Structure 1
Amino acid sequence: MNEAWKIVGIPRFGGILVVSDHASNHVPADIDLGIAPGLLDQHVAIDIGVAEVGALMAQRPGIAAFQGGVSRLVCDFNRDEHLPTVVPIASDGHAIPGNALDHAGHEARLARFFRPYHDALGKLLADVPQALILSLHSFTPQLASSEEPRPWHVGVLYNEDDRAARIAIPLLQAEGLCVGDQLPYSGKLLNATMNRHAEADGRPYLGIEVRQDLIGDGAGQVEWAERLSRIANQVAVAIT
């Protein structure tokens, strides 16, 4: 294991891997972000609920979870390495003064967190090929920087490869859910991890964004773990 990532469950050949870039709000003791501690419990620091949902899914046969080990404010794994937002200096109106780093400091973050995370994920997918990668995130019902509420229960994101999305969207709609197709934002803009580890190699993947208030407690996490496990298995069977 590494401080940048962890694996929950046992990845199996032809299984399903749940990948959550923003599963943790951990900030290593030797890093000072210069922010109020309460901010670490908000969506700017962590995708609320995804660690628990992923861990519950990983209790099922054939499913494992690969989860980021530090807050997205320390290092955002779902960004391209060359972008400054990998180590954000602001998020949803909040300044992150501890991330105003020089080149050496920025490079140190990449070397310590970003590259080990993606190296490990790449190796896992090469060593244990999966039938489906489920990229699991959560989104806030309303951004502080916007007056527009987000009514969707779940969003499905993709870039060029929409094979899994086209199967999953009607399955989610059949659950009585309000489903966003490329909402609350587009996978053509925010899909870095899946672009790198799925689209680049033709691996089937499904990008899922659950509204965080639906998975903010234990009951919601159990409900969505069951739902996503069932639908992911249906997608994996249909796509192969």
Structure 2
Amino acid sequence: MTPDPLPYRQIGTEDFRPGGLLCVVDHASNRVPEDIELGIEPHLLDEHIAVDIGVEGIAERLARRHGIPAHIATVSRLVCDLHRREDEPAVVPAESDGTLIPGNIGANVEARLERFHRPYHAALGELIAAAQPRLILSLHSFTPQLATSAEKRPWEVALLYNQDDRAARHAIRLFGEQGLTVGDNEPYSGTQLNATMDRHAEAQGIPYCLVEIRQDQVANEAGQARWAMMLADVMGRVALEV
């Protein structure tokens, strides 16, 4: 039997120096293991319900060109949402943005947690303990408009946070100075959707920025390169101020 691939990969960690920046990407992949049947049309795996479009390319550029190591998910959020707490129903979603995920109805949630969620977070915790980052960048992207809503989202980038907003405040200001429309806990609120940073950053007093980029900004390689450069600059400046 072929060994099950790890639910994460790490780039640039071999040369990581304590006190630097670290990038975490919970929704980077649309991979569905062969033994899991979601029961959805294949084209949906390229949509936002399955993957945060553009973030994997940005994270790879941050690691390889800007010296910011990355911890990157290698399984779709539809298989197991690594950016949810273990006790949340949406950790194995039965529905996403109006699309039913029939293969997840009645799924063995405990088995999914043991196979994907726990190894992913255990490895991230070990990396953070060894690296002692000065700032963590949690990288996500959001769709310009939900299928279940007529409302278009005007923000090109957004910062989410729960209780600790010290790094987010600096980032909001710096992105605004770039002429961008910046969301402040929009289109989602970090008081409700911040599981990975609640666990690995806020609980340990580590400053972080949960950055959401609108997907039309990063759908191609040019956009991803632009945003990798901008993020490296802004996050580097934020790290000096927190």
Superimposed CA distance per residue, residues 152-177 of structure 1 (whole angstroms, 9 cap, x where no aligned partner): 00001111000101111110001010
Q: Check conservation: 1:12, 1:62, Cα contact below 8 A.
A: no
Q: Which runs of 4+ in 1 moved over 3 A?
A: none
Q: Check conservation: 1:22, 1:77, Cα contact below 8 A.
A: yes
| Separation (CA, whole Å) in 2 of partners of 1:2 and 1:137 | 23
Superimposed CA distance per residue, residues 176-234 of structure 1 (whole angstroms, 9 cap, x where no aligned partner): 10000111111111000000000001011001000001000011000000000000100
What code does the residue aligned with 1:87 have?
V
Gaps of 5+ in 2: none
| Separation (CA, whole Å) in 1 of partners of 2:68 and 2:20 | 6
Superimposed CA distance per residue, residues 67-117 of structure 1 (whole angstroms, 9 cap, x where no aligned partner): 111000000011110111100000001110111125xx1110000000000
Of 114, 120, 128, the residue aligned with 1:117 is 120
| Separation (CA, whole Å) in 2 of partners of 1:163 and 1:2 | 37
| Separation (CA, whole Å) in 2 of partners of 1:66 and 1:3 | 12
Of 9, 17, 27, the residue aligned with 1:12 is 17
2:133 aligns with 130
| Separation (CA, whole Å) in 1 of partners of 2:167 and 2:94 | 34
| 1:52 and 2:57 matched | yes
1:22 aligns with 27
Work out the percentage of aligned pairs sharing the same amino acid. Answer: 56
Equivalent runs, 1:1-240 vs 2, <5 Å: 3-10=6-13, 11-60=16-65, 62-102=67-107, 105-239=108-242
Q: CA deviation at 1:3?
A: 2.0
Two-structure CA RMSD over aligned residues (Å): 1.2
Say which SS state the counterpart of residue 234 (structure 1) adopts: helix
Say which SS state the counterpart of residue 58 (structure 1) adopts: helix
Q: CA deviation at 1:15?
A: 1.2
Q: CA deviation at 1:2?
A: 5.0
Superimposed CA distance per residue, residues 124-154 of structure 1 (whole angstroms, 9 cap, x where no aligned partner): 1011110110000000000000010001000
Q: Check conservation: 1:55, 1:65, Cα contact below 8 A.
A: yes
| Separation (CA, whole Å) in 2 of partners of 1:9 and 1:2 | 19
User: TM-score under structure 1 normalisation?
Assistant: 0.96
What code does the residue aligned with 1:130 have?
P
Say which SS state the counterpart of residue 64 (structure 2) adopts: coil
Moved more, 62-71 or 21-30: 62-71
Q: CA deviation at 1:61?
A: 5.0
| Separation (CA, whole Å) in 2 of partners of 1:158 and 1:2 | 31
| Separation (CA, whole Å) in 1 of partners of 2:175 and 2:218 | 16
Q: Check conservation: 1:12, 1:63, Cα contact below 8 A.
A: no
